[in-house]
């Protein structure tokens, strides 16, 4: 029996609803496999915890999480707690403290979900965006002088290090190598930004030599948005800086049809610490408690978690079940259906139980 210890942090809004759905699906997958167990431990950290204690998680939060094999995260953010507190108090300390430097965002069109792109069908758009998650434009370097005066100055400095760029590039080439097309697109803005971005291009060419079986090309980020919209079939694995990939993955999510289906993984590829898996969407208080949150993103990120743990068979089984249920039209209202979270979850559990492969 293989046992995995999973830390669940459902947190705010629809987070608890989708994590409950995901936990149920994981336990059915374990029953189906017979030789694997998921030991879930739930942590009540988040905005309610903040209102009671003044902090989003306890001071020794990272220490408590360290022994786990993975973190299954819901959503964070509340209308009555400032965004910088919810973000910097929980998600970011985990990403940074556990050096989860690869943010991996798969996007594809799920059967039954319609892309806003005309004529683009299931299979035409199947990408994985790898976002550098530890430095670049979001490294927090900069400052403001002469605040409020006419001569005020603000700087926001991007930091690119050889270590940081090399490790994300290696991760992206390896991921591209593991996918059938073995094709990577490296995104920069090296025509206008002549230092860090040119170094990024040079390091890409160096790392490419370690992966002779991977084909790769380069795109400027502005032209990349056009290619994503006009020629989605021409892309597969994509690597970009923290800021560029942040923007491109929102575009990717929109092109795939809904926020409710988009997952993300924050990975420490060296496996020194637990990696964290979450839906991309936020806490969505407008639908909290109504029982209609789309659980598909949370199922898909569970499949990423299973892949990371080496449970490929369970991961693939889960995605087959999700795609089958969506193709049958059992969908929540955000993707044009009339089903509840519970109905979608039950249908996915049934599909897993009933599968004869
Ligand atoms: P944040 O917590 O980042 O401030 P938010 O609460 O503003 O996020 P988002 O997650 O960005 O909400 O989503 C915007 C809207 O999309 C939500 O208000 C909701 O209506 C819809 N939405 C997001 N996720 C889902 C989901 N899983 N199921 C159904 N609808 C969703």
DSSP string, 277-304: EEESS---TTTTTTT----HHHHHHHHH
Give tens-digit pLDDT for 305-331.
Answer: 999 999 999 999 999 999 999 999 999
Per-residue confidence (pLDDT) for residue 139, from 0 to 100: 87
Q: Is residue 109 part of a domain?
A: no
What predicted TM-score, i.e. pTM, was given to this entire model? 0.93
Asked if 282 and 169 sit in the same domain, the reply is no
Question: What does the alpha-carbon distance between residue 317 and residue 86 come to, in Å, rounded to a whole number?
Answer: 34
Q: Residue 171: is its pLDDT beyond 80?
A: yes
Burial degree of 238 (CB within 10 A; 0-12, 13-18, 19+): buried
Name the domain boundary from 220, 255, 290. 255
Q: Is residue 233 part of a domain?
A: yes
Per-residue confidence (pLDDT) for residue 134, from 0 to 100: 94
Q: Is residue 263 part of a domain?
A: no
Name the phi and psi angles at 5, rounded to 5: -95, 115
Asked if 134 and 232 sit in the same domain, the reply is yes
Nearby residues of 8 by Cβ (< 8 Å), 6 or more positions away? 19, 23, 40, 41, 42, 43, 71, 72, 74
Other C-beta atoms closer than 10 Å to the C-beta of 195 total 10
Q: Is residue 121 part of a domain?
A: no
Asked if 90 and 160 sit in the same domain, the reply is no
The neighbouring-strand residues paired with 239 are 130, 186
Total number of domains in the chain:
2
Q: Is residue 22 part of a domain?
A: yes
Parent domain of 49: 1-100+269-357
Give the CATH number, domain containing residue 222.
Answer: 3.40.718.10
User: Which residue among 78, 258, 259, 299 is best mutated to probe the pocket of ligand 1, counting the most ligand atoms within 8 A of its Cβ?
Assistant: 259
Asked if 135 and 242 sit in the same domain, the reply is yes
Question: What does the alpha-carbon distance between residue 110 and residue 126 come to, in Å, rounded to a whole number?
Answer: 10
The residue whose C-alpha atom lies closest to atom 3 belonging to ligand 1 is: 282
Q: Is residue 282 part of a domain?
A: yes
CB of 183 within 6 A of ligand 1: the answer is no
Asked if 303 and 210 sit in the same domain, the reply is no
Give tens-digit pLDDT for 196-225.
Answer: 999 999 999 999 999 999 999 999 999 999
Asked if 174 and 226 sit in the same domain, the reply is yes
Give tens-digit pLDDT for 7-49.
Answer: 999 999 999 999 999 999 999 999 999 999 999 999 999 999 9
Asked if 226 and 321 sit in the same domain, the reply is no
Q: Is residue 113 part of a domain?
A: no
CB of 286 within 6 A of ligand 1: the answer is yes
CB of 151 within 6 A of ligand 1: the answer is no
Largest CA distance in the chain: 70
Asked if 219 and 290 sit in the same domain, the reply is no
Name the domain boundary from 226, 255, 284. 255
Give tens-digit pLDDT for 122-162.
Answer: 889 999 999 999 999 988 899 999 999 999 999 999 999 99
Asked if 290 and 212 sit in the same domain, the reply is no
Q: Residue 352: is its pLDDT beyond 90?
A: yes
- What sections of the chain are H helices per DSSP? 15-33, 47-53, 61-65, 83-86, 92-97, 162-178, 196-208, 221-230, 242-256, 296-308, 312-327, 341-354
DSSP at 272: S
Which tokens hold the place of 228?
Answer: 């994503």
Give the Å distances, CA to CA, from 204 to 162, 176, 209, 299. Answer: 11, 13, 9, 33
Asked if 84 and 142 sit in the same domain, the reply is no
Asked if 242 and 279 sit in the same domain, the reply is no
What's the rounded mean pLDDT across residues 79-91?
A: 92
Closest to 10 in 3D by CA, of 44, 49, 37: 44
Q: Is residue 111 part of a domain?
A: no
Asked if 201 and 138 sit in the same domain, the reply is yes
Residue 267 in 3-state DSSP? strand
Name the domain boundary from 233, 255, 277. 255
* Ligand 1 atom at minimum distance from 12 CA: 2
What's the rounded mean pLDDT across residues 279-289?
A: 95
Question: What separation in Å is there between the alpha carbon of 196 and the centre of ligand 1?
Answer: 34
Question: What does the alpha-carbon distance between residue 270 and residue 113 come to, in Å, rounded to a whole number?
Answer: 35
Of the chain, the end-to-end C-alpha distance in Å amounts to: 20
Q: DSSP readout, 108-129?
A: EPPTT---SSTT--TTT-EEEE
Other C-beta atoms closer than 10 Å to the C-beta of 198 total 14
């Amino acid at each position: 029996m293989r046992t995995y210890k999973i830390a669940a942090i459902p947190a705010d809004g629809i987070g608890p609803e989708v994590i409950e759905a995901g936990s149920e699906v994981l336990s059915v997958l374990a029953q189906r496999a017979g030789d694997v167990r998921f030991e879930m431990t739930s942590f009540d950290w988040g905005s309610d915890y903040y209102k009671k204690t003044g902090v989003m998680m306890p001071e020794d939060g990272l220490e408590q999480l360290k022994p786990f094999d993975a973190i299954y995260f819901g959503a964070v953010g509340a209308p009555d707690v400032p965004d910088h507190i919810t973000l910097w108090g929980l998600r970011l300390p985990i990403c940074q403290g556990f050096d989860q430097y690869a943010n991996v965002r798969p996007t594809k069109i799920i059967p039954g979900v319609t892309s806003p792109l005309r004529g683009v069908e299931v299979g035409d758009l199947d990408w994985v965006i790898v976002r550098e998650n530890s430095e670049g434009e979001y490294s927090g370097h900069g400052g403001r002088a002469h605040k409020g005066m006419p001569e005020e100055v603000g700087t926001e400095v991007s930091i690119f290090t050889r270590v940081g760029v090399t490790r994300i590039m290696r991760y992206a080439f390896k991921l591209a190598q593991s996918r059938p097309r073995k094709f990577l697109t490296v995104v920069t803005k090296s025509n206008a930004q002549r230092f860090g971005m040119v170094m990024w291009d040079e390091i890409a060419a160096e790392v490419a030599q370690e992966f002779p079986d991977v084909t790769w090309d380069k795109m400027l980020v502005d032209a990349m948005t056009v290619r994503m919209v006009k020629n989605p079939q021409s892309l597969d694995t994509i690597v970009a800086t923290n800021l560029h990939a942040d923007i491109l993955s929102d575009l990717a999510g929109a092109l795939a049809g809904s926020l409710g289906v988009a997952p993300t993984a924050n990975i420490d590829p060296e496996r020194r610490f637990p990696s964290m898996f979450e839906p991309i969407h936020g806490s969505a208080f407008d639908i909290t408690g109504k029982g209609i949150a789309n659980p598909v993103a949370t199922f898909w990120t569970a499949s990423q978690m299973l892949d990371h743990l080496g449970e490929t068979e369970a991961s693939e089984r889960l995605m087959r079940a999700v795609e089958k249920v969506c193709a049958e039209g059992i969908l929540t209202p955000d993707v044009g259906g009339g089903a509840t979270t519970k109905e979608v979850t039950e249908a996915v559990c049934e599909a897993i139980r009933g599968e004869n492969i």
